[in-house]
Amino acid sequence: MGNITMGKYRIFLFTVPALLVLGTFFLYPIGLSLRMSFTDFTGVGIANDVGWKNYERIFTRSRYLDALGVTLLFTLIVVTVQTAIGLFFAALLHRLPAVRNLCRAALFLPAMMSFVIVGYVWQFIYSPFDGGLNSLFAAIGLTSWQHNWIGDPDTALYALAFAHVWMFIGYSTAIFLAGYAAIPQELDEAARLEGTSGWQRFRHIEVPLLASSFTINIVLSTIGTLKTFELPFIMTRGGPDGATRTLSLHIIDSLFGKYRFGFASALSIIMLILVVAVTLLQNRVLRAREERVR
Amino acid sequence: MHRSPMHRVVRTAAVTLLATTGVAQAVTLEVTAWKGNDAEPAALPELIERFEAANPDITIDFSYISRSDTDIVLPPRLQGGDAPDVMMADMPLVNIWGNAGLLAPLDKGDWYERLDPAVKAAITGGDEVYIMPLEVIGMGNFVNMGLLREAGVEQAPRTIEELKGTCTALAEAGVNPMIFAGGFSAPLFTIANGLEPDPAAAAELGAEQRTFEDDEAFIAALSLFPELAEAGCFDPEVQAGVDPWSTALAEFKAGNFAMMPQGAWNIRDFSSVDGLDFVFAPIPSANGTGVALDLFGVGWVISSQSENAEAASTFVDFFTDEENLQALLEAESAYSPFVGGASGMAALAAPYDEARAAGASIQFPFGVLHWPKPLESEIFDSLTGYLLDLDQEPGEVLSRWDEIIEDQY
């Protein structure tokens, strides 16, 4: 009996290394950030307790709530568009096996470039003075379409979202292509014998059977986009007038421009709660959808 | 072989002396700065070479760390007791590192007495001084004289009325008059005009003793934006989104715009452009001279943890010598921080020099810690927002600045 009990608990010993890594590199820093969020730490020296002051400032200053709105809108745009275009390319490449690998590599190429390069390239494309996009419109006679793309608060976030989607579309396509590979070919053949159209097969067979690919795509891109700061940092520095200032950018600015480590920690804790809440909710909804399909 | 106790004592003393002398002869000093690379050499490579020749017992291990990376790289090293011996710093950094006890107090030698009073006041907090200032650099109006002459204007504008007249003439000649980016140029113009009537107000505004929202000079400065836009100086909505650190500089260098408020550190780069006929002038303002906006930018600080404090002091002292400093000032197009000190400004900056000589210089409030660093980005943001919607009330825009000041207390 004693041996059985020991054996039952012994298996938990195998989780100790993983728990140690998790505790040291994930839970401890989060605990430290939580502790720091109640101080006025400047990055060096002594941290003084300030109670809930940092949190009070976050919730009483509209600029932080605006940043939360910008972050959520940016995420919504990127996740929706990236998933839709990724699915489009995957459906297309699934039907074009001859060029599938070549196109998959081409779509992946932007993701292999550094954010800095992508940011500067798109900044020059969007430049109001002889930028690539405006020059293109001028060349084809559409001068009325010329615009200050990242200088106008109404278009800046969309312009950044487009660059972000361009960069990561290869990932979404690859995940959907993996999903396509798991769809039994007999189903497709049976549907064809029944005389279904391509659209009907896509709508009623492929989309439902790609449910797990949707889950992975949406969850991964949501987490990645909620945390994003690179392109807004490089292309607009959060401007014009905060139109592209995400929560992450506020955190970076507070840390390394304003030396407000305590305040930045409070913002980080709020962002952590946001990311966890959104991800849990998404997971719940998407898993339930997967179950329904099965 | 038997050795006497006296022999052993003498031998130990000799070894100790030799070892001590050996260490003193081979000091390697770690120095970091955000100047000294190819893009912004500031004559540091030559000066370090000259220093090593004059001090053969000290070797300099120099590392370039950009200003933004300085915020990331150095605090953990300072906190961890592994800081470089000598570091380039500005006043926001001195304020934080000095208050945390991470900087060594400098000897207030002859150099301290020679400092310009404004700079001396800025670096003196309490009894100790932690930074040896290297330069005061101008922020003014770059003016492409070639383009002005095309429009029949012979002189860089110094007053608001001259500025409006120049803009109108340029616009009529088909020349883009002015870069007025919300992220830097517009703030320089606003700060210069807002502080011109009473430069001492900067300290009171930053200490919550007065509010920007009710400050008539700043309200008047913002009220100039619609007037300048109407005079054809700029399209406010376009300027709101111009990146002052890439697009704006590239456009001025390309000769696509006639004027641009910016810093004198660009003079060297602009001078390398063939055919770019420009001058560096004061920022146009209500008085007749314009405003020379002086930035006390950088200096040397010594880590309190440095094991080579004496060698570090020798290095810092080297830059208090006017002859040595001159090379840096010329490379930077900057002014000496010392009273009666040399100027490294090029001849094309004569209009700016004249404004300074006429007493029209104002210290940039962030460089002397009158205003907190977080206010800087809020000014950039709020003025960008104002350019996008010039119907906003100036007081409403300025209230955002007061909110940031309030957050500091």
Q: Are B281 and B360 in contact (CB under 8 A)?
A: no
- Looking at the structure, do residues B33 and B58 belong to the same domain, yes or no? yes
Residue B7 in domain: no
- Looking at the structure, do residues B153 and B260 belong to the same domain, yes or no? yes
**Nearest chain A residue to B256, by CA:** A129
Q: How far from B366 is each of B89, B125, B141, CA to CA, in Å?
A: 14, 15, 19
Q: How far from B89 is each of A137, B67, B73, B97, CA to CA, in Å?
A: 46, 9, 13, 10
Q: How far apart are CA B340 and CA B358, in angstroms?
A: 15
Q: pLDDT tens digits for B70-119? A: 988 998 899 888 999 999 999 989 989 998 899 999 988 889 999 988 88
Q: B368 lies in which domain range? A: 137-294+350-407
Nearest Cα of chain A lies from the Cα of B216 at a distance, in angstroms, of: 24
Average per-residue pLDDT in chain A?
A: 89
Write down which residue in B273, B304, B332 finishes a domain. Answer: B332
- What confidence score (pLDDT) does residue B11 get? 52
Q: How far from B66 is each of B36, B38, B156, B254, B296, CA to CA, in Å?
A: 10, 12, 33, 26, 18
Q: How far from A3 is each of A7, A9, A10, B292, CA to CA, in Å?
A: 6, 10, 10, 85
Q: Is the pLDDT at B24 greater than 60, yes or no?
A: no
Question: What does the DSSP 8-state code read for residue B295?
Answer: E
Q: Would you call the peptide bond into B105 cis, given omega within 30 degrees of 0 as the criterion?
A: no
- Cβ within 8 Å of A, B 204-263: 237-238, 240-243, 246-247, 251, 256
- Looking at the structure, do residues B114 and B260 belong to the same domain, yes or no? no
Residue B240 in domain: yes
- Overall average pLDDT of the B196-225 stretch: 95
CA atoms within 13 A on the CB side of B35: 23
Q: Are A216 and A222 in contact (CB under 8 A)?
A: no
Residues in a beta bridge with B299:
B89, B133
Q: Are A152 and B270 in contact (CB under 8 A)?
A: no
A240–B385 C-beta distance less than 8 A = yes
Please give the angle made by the CA atoms of A234, A113 and A214, to the nearest 5 degrees. Answer: 95
Q: pLDDT tens digits for B347-376? A: 899 999 999 999 999 999 998 889 998 899
Task: Identify the band that residue B7 occupies on the pLDDT scale cut at 50, 70 and 90.
Answer: low
At A218, is the secondary structure helix, strand, or coil?
helix
- Looking at the structure, do residues B239 and B173 belong to the same domain, yes or no? yes
Q: pLDDT tens digits for A192-208? A: 898 888 889 999 989 99
A257–B71 C-beta distance less than 8 A = yes
- Looking at the structure, do residues B186 and B288 belong to the same domain, yes or no? yes
Q: Which residues of A touch B (CB under 8 A)?
A: 42-46, 57, 61, 120, 123, 127-129, 148, 150-153, 156, 236-242, 253, 255-260
Q: How far apart are CA A144 and CA A132, in angstroms?
A: 15
Residue B343 in domain: no
What Rg, from alpha-carbon coordinates, does chain A have?
A: 24
- Closest to A164 (Cα-Cα) out of A247, A236, A88, A100: A236
- Looking at the structure, do residues B277 and B300 belong to the same domain, yes or no? no
Out of A150, A152, A259, closest to residue B96 by CB: A259
Out of A120, A129, A241, closest to residue B384 by CB: A241
- Looking at the structure, do residues B71 and B217 belong to the same domain, yes or no? no
**Nearest chain A residue to B240, by CA:** A151
Structurally, chain B folds into a number of domains equal to 2
- Looking at the structure, do residues B259 and B371 belong to the same domain, yes or no? yes
Residue B12 in domain: no
**Nearest chain A residue to B77, by CA:** A44
What percentage of chain B exceeds 70 in pLDDT?
Answer: 94
- What confidence score (pLDDT) does residue B19 get? 46
Q: pLDDT tens digits for A207-219? A: 999 999 999 999 9
- Closest to B325 (Cα-Cα) out of B344, B340, B348: B344
- Looking at the structure, do residues B108 and B246 belong to the same domain, yes or no? no
What does the block give as tokens for B165? Answer: 């007249």
Cβ count near B215 (within 10 Å): 23
- Looking at the structure, do residues B107 and B174 belong to the same domain, yes or no? no
- Looking at the structure, do residues B162 and B59 belong to the same domain, yes or no? no
What percentage of chain A exceeds 70 in pLDDT?
Answer: 97
Query: Among B13-22, B53-62, B263-272, whose mean pLDDT is lowest?
Result: B13-22
- Overall average pLDDT of the A37-66 stretch: 90
Q: Is the pLDDT at B60 greater than 70, yes or no?
A: yes
The CATH number of the domain holding residue B113 is: 3.40.190.10
Cβ count near A257 (within 10 Å): 15
B75–A257 C-beta distance less than 8 A = no
Q: How far is CA B363 from the centre of its chain?
A: 10
- Closest to A213 (Cα-Cα) out of A185, A275, A171: A171
Nearest Cα of chain A lies from the Cα of B57 at a distance, in angstroms, of: 33
- Closest to B361 (Cα-Cα) out of B262, B286, B297, B283: B283
Supply the CATH classification number for the domain A62-293: 1.10.3720.10
- Overall average pLDDT of the A184-192 stretch: 88
What Rg, from alpha-carbon coordinates, does chain B have?
A: 25
Nearest Cα of chain B lies from the Cα of A81 at a distance, in angstroms, of: 25
A257–B373 C-beta distance less than 8 A = yes
B78–A239 C-beta distance less than 8 A = no
What does the block give as tokens for B58? Answer: 């000290």
Question: What does the DSSP 8-state code read for residue B254?
Answer: T
**Nearest chain A residue to B372, by CA:** A258
- Looking at the structure, do residues B182 and B168 belong to the same domain, yes or no? yes
